[in-house]
Structure 1
Amino acid sequence: MHILPSRPPFSPTFVSHSPASSSSIVVSARVVRLRVTLFSMQDPRFQPNLSSTYQPIKCSINCNCDNEGVQCTYERRYAEMSSSSGVLGEDIVSFGNESELVPQRAVFGCETLETGDLYSQRADGIMGLGRGRLSVMDQLVDKRVIDDSFSLCYGGMGVGGGAMVLGAIPSPPGMVFTHSDPFRSPYYNIELKEIHVAGKPLKLSPKVFDQRHGTVLDSGTTYAYLPEEAFLAFKDALIKKIHFLKRVHGPDPSYNDICFSGAGRDVTQLSKIFPEVDMVFNNGQKWSLSPENYLFRHTKVSGAYSLGIFKNADSTTLLGG
């Protein structure tokens, strides 16, 4: 995803991120963060001094200040032990040639230090979509230039692309709705009640999915993470359905991935081998996942796939994108 801060514009690549984490500490990104240090990036770094419209956010009682007491700073830490810190600034943000949004002034974080996965990823920053007044989304809503709604569409296995829509759009035919509880936690909560594998419900109490922060949707998490009881039940049910496939080691020895070979390279044929998985919500609506929605391709063994659903160290249920 590309947005263009500053005049003249430059175009960094961003990862969209709604607020959640896969472990006991759940932290959200509330600002767009732009790398300004000499990290390995795929796009040019942002240089505030080259923008005629950039303004630093001056130190006040409403923010944390730098050592000189001149400028507001920010710091965000994530459960996977990565972090981002820097200063806050304001500039004109454009949303690309295909957007109907006119350029808007917005506050964002200008990154000067990062660690962990944030350092190693290819993207040049993160656009926060969390429920907070400092996200770019909420700034646009406050300006009344968009409705208080956004949509994300992900690419499939082996397929790039995807799309993000800021503001409301007409619902497509067949859209399934379920209740979201804004008071359950600071995150995007839904009320998951059951998981079905090949049409059969796992023998679990609905309370399993309502522990700690409940069930959270998080676009910044690549995979899904279930409480231990739910994960073990899901894994056992899945393995029974594909017992004829060979178990293989995962692509990265640092992780104990659950992988299977012998399914073939054609992703369109996976549904003939792997079962469909249904997420059932409190109103009875089902979210059906085809195999390419819960598997990822093995990078070292041709025709092998790994399970993209993991055991969460925390009792929260986290559904990533």
Structure 2
Amino acid sequence: MNRRRLRFAAVTTTTIFSLLISLLTSTFPVTSAVNSTSDNLNLRRTSPLILPLSLSRKIPSAKLRRLLQAKRVPINARMNLFDDLLSNGYYTTRLYIGTPPQEFALIVDTGSTVTYVPCSDCDQCGNHQDPKFQPDLSTTYHPVKCNPDCTCDAENAQCVYERQYAEMSSSSGVLGEDIVSFGNQSELKPQRAVFGCENAETGDLYSQHADGIMGLGRGDLSIVDQLVDKSVIGDSFSLCYGGMGIGGGAMILGSLSPPSDMVFSHSDPDRSPYYNIELKELHVAGKKLAIDPKLISELHGLKQIRGPDPNYNDICFSGAGRKVSELSKTFPAVDMVFENGLKYLLSPENYLFKHSKVPGAYCLGVFQNGKDPTTLLGGEIKVGFITFDMSLSIKDSDLKPRISELSGFIAQELGVNTLQVHLLNFTSSGNGSLITWGIYPEKSAKYIANTTAMHIIAHLAEHNVQLPDTFGSYTLANWKVEPPMKRSWWHQHYLLVVMAVIVSLMLGISVYGIWFIRKWRQQTTIQYKPVDSDTVVPEQELQPL
């Protein structure tokens, strides 16, 4: 399941709900559901919720509201949102590219910047909702030529892009420019914009139903930033979600008059490159939760928190009734308290979703985020090494002599050097064997390149590792991505220490050698004394022959 859905609400992380559970499970029976596959809270309510996301200074909420209301609201682009949250894990919108327009279903993502669609020549793209984009059929399409502001292809002819996402999928291709349309509800006329024409994708991107991603993050390639730079929309965008049982919603690119009860919270670009809010406290049913202060700091806001164990089922509650409007009689409200003391109310329909099979049952909207523990916004990570388990049907006595051979096949299948494949553990499992392997960076590298890591993980996740039949049947499981190992002071400075010791020894030997040579010369020098008549003794006088 894809994880790149709207992430602004992700600051209400699983820590909130681990504390919520203790309050809720004491009152209501719990039923099990299908294992969850994401770890972000999805904010939904009966009345539309509009969250404006834009950069701003720390202006008091009331003053900021008056300033926004005083400005003339320019035109904006209103677009429908389609709720694929429970089935696919994201919201999508429709975007039209080219002349004549070619339609695409794109995941709305506030955590990335590039908007891309599969290109017609992409032979490494999956089957998606709509046909691939065909540049030759658009009379207004132009490739973005190589320039100092972009990454160029091998021929230095065209600009290219490459993005890796939090769940370790990736997208790469060329950059093009064309007319982009926003649908018949938009006041904004079609505009020229730069987007990605994809020619390779891996991981969840390959298997997802949606065609591509619409990046709303901060950056030059963000479609919002491009429209703002053209001065055709105001410097903000808004997201409006339908309530429980309604689904869908709307997205507005550009400014709009804020509601009178809007709660503003500052997003600090110095704290994080992503949209972020500084959460101070959480209250459940009016009671302040005793959250570890290390999780919330004034400097960094909410830190990374690990999601629930994927081995456990969803936490669901039965007996609450079928009327969404009456959920507040059964479940408590949650207050998010921000840095300025303002509170944002999460009603039960904001943090619950309906059980798909049990009428009148509701589950907490907290899911495990694939293989990635990050509960904040999506991003790129550095891969230190990758581990995975391999269970083989061959006996350990027959397999041990062939470990080196097996290591070579694994390296070949994963596209790495044989020296990068390390045997971490070998155990006997009945009539079979269980091996834990580790894929490490090359000797000269500190971490595995993201492109290489994507390739390795895609092969492991999609079970594309093919071994000779002589190794019997096998399965791959429990692959993990680990960050680069932190080196100790000694590992970071041992070369300097060794060089200092060598230099000191050489200087010491040189000084000792000079001293020794001088002393030896002094001892071997013949000293002559004058013959004095007063000092001559009879034995020293010359005797006649």
Q: TM-score range by the shorter chain?
A: 0.7 to 0.9
Which protein is bigger by CA-based radius of gyration?
A: 2
Shift of 1:132: 1.0
C-alpha displacement of 1:215 = 3.7
* Residue equivalent to 2:316: 259
The question of whether the paired residues in 1 share the 8 Å contact of 2:271 and 2:299 is answered with no
Q: How does 1:234-253 map to 2 (within 5 A)?
A: none
| Counterpart position of 2:339 | 282
Deviation at 1:186, TM superposition (A): 0.8
Q: Match of 1:119, SS?
A: helix
- Asked if 1:227 corresponds to 2:305, the answer is yes
Is 1:30–1:132's contact at 8 Å kept on the other side of the alignment?
yes
Contact 1:83 1:118 in 2 (8 A): yes
- Separation in structure 2 between the aligned mates of residue 272 and residue 118 of structure 1, nearest angstrom: 41
Letter aligned with residue 16 of structure 1: V
Q: CA deviation at 1:125?
A: 1.6
Question: Structure 2 CA distance, aligned partners of 1:204 and 1:56?
Answer: 51
> In structure 2, how many angstroms separate the alpha carbons of the residues matched to 1:181 and 1:295?
29
> Structure 1 residue 103 and structure 2 residue 190: aligned?
yes
Partner of 1:135: 222
Aligned equivalents of 1:106 and 1:151: distance in 2? 20
- 2:455 alignment partner in structure 1: none
Query: Relative to structure 2, which stretch is displaced further, 5-14 or 260-269?
Result: 260-269
Match of 2:269 in 1: 182
Tell me whether 1:293 sits opposite 2:344 in the alignment: no
Give the alignment partner of residue 210 of structure 1, picking from 284, 297, 302: 297
CA distance in 1, matches of 2:173, 2:188: 27
Q: Secondary structure at the match of 1:195?
A: strand
Q: Which amino acid aligns with 2:362?
A: Y
Q: Does 1:32 align with 2:110?
A: no
SS of residue in 2 equivalent to 1:106: strand
Alignment of 1:53-68 (within 5 A): 53-68=140-155
3-state SS of paired residue (1:110): strand
SS in 1 for 2:246: coil
Whether contact under 8 Å (1:259, 1:304) holds in the other structure is yes
Give the direction of change, closer, same or farther, for the CA distance of 1:120–1:296 in structure 2 (3 Å limit): farther
Match of residue 242 from structure 1? none
Q: CA deviation at 1:10?
A: 1.6
The RMSD of aligned alpha carbons is 2.8
Tell me which residue corresponds to 2:260: 173
Q: 1:315 to 1:15 in 2, by over 3 A?
A: closer
Q: CA deviation at 1:266?
A: 3.1
- Give 1:40 deviation, angstroms: 2.7
Residue 291 of structure 1 deviates from its aligned partner by 1.4
Counterpart in the other structure of 2:108 = 16
- Residues 4, 96 of structure 1: 8 Å contact kept: yes
Q: Is 1:199 the equivalent of 2:286?
A: yes
Q: Is the 8 A contact 2:278 2:298 kept in 1?
A: no
Letter in 2 for 1:227: I
**1:44 CA displacement:** 2.8
Change (3 A) 1:85 1:169: same
Give the corresponding residue for 1:238.
none
Q: Structure 2: any 5+ residue segments left out of the alignment?
A: 1-92, 379-545
Q: Is the 8 A contact 2:95 2:104 kept in 1?
A: yes
Amino acid at match of 1:30: T
Describe the superposition over 1:9-29 as per-residue Cα deviations: whole angstroms up to 9, x where unpaired. 12211221111xxxxxxxxx2
Structure 1 position 4 matched with structure 2 position 82:
no
Q: Does the C-alpha gap of structure 1 residues 120 and 264 become closer, same or farther in structure 2, counting only changes over 3 Å?
A: farther
| 1:8, distance to aligned residue in structure 2 (A) | 0.5
In the other structure, the counterpart of 2:411 is none
CA distance in 1, matches of 2:267, 2:96: 32
Does the C-alpha gap of structure 1 residues 156 and 112 become closer, same or farther in structure 2, counting only changes over 3 Å? farther
- Percent identity of the aligned residues? 64
Mapped to 2, the partners of 1:99 and 1:317 lie a distance apart of 31
Query: Is the alpha carbon distance of 1:168 and 1:80 closer, same or farther for their aligned partners in structure 2, counting shifts above 3 Å?
Result: same
SS in 2 for 1:309: coil
Letter of the 1:201 counterpart: K
Deviations 1:178-201 (A, max 9, x none): 222232111112110011111111
Aligned-pair distance for 1:305? 2.4
Task: Normalising by structure 1, report the TM-score.
Answer: 0.78
Per-residue deviation, 1:117: 2.7
Matched with 2:239 is: 152
Matched residue type, 2:337: V
CA distances 1:244-298 after superposition (whole Å, capped 9, x unpaired): xxxxxx9xx8764323333333333322222111111011111111112112223
Alpha carbons 2:317, 2:361 under 8 Å: kept: yes
In structure 2, relative to structure 1, the CA distance for the partners of 1:255 and 1:74 (3 Å cut) is farther
TM-score where L is the length of structure 2: 0.47
Equivalent-residue separation in structure 2 for 1:303 and 1:121 (angstroms): 30
User: In the TM superposition, what is the alpha-carbon distance from 1:161 to its structure 2 partner?
Assistant: 2.2
The CA deviation at 1:310 is 5.3
Name the residue aligned to 2:165: 78
Distance 1:120 1:296 in 2: 25
Higher strand proportion (structure 1 or 2): 1
Which segments of 5 or more consecutive residues in structure 1 lack a partner in the other structure?
20-28, 217-225, 233-249
Q: Structure 1 pair 213/259, CA: closer, same or farther in 2 (3 Å)?
A: farther
CA deviation after TM superposition for structure 1 residue 158, in Å: 2.7
Q: Contact between 1:214 and 1:317, CA under 8 Å: does it hold in 2?
A: no
1:270 pairs, out of 297, 316, 327, with: 327
In the alignment, is the contact (CA less than 8 A) between 1:294 and 1:307 conserved in 2? yes
Q: Is the contact between residue 274 and residue 377 of structure 2 (CA under 8 Å) also seen in structure 1?
A: no
**Greater fraction helix:** 2
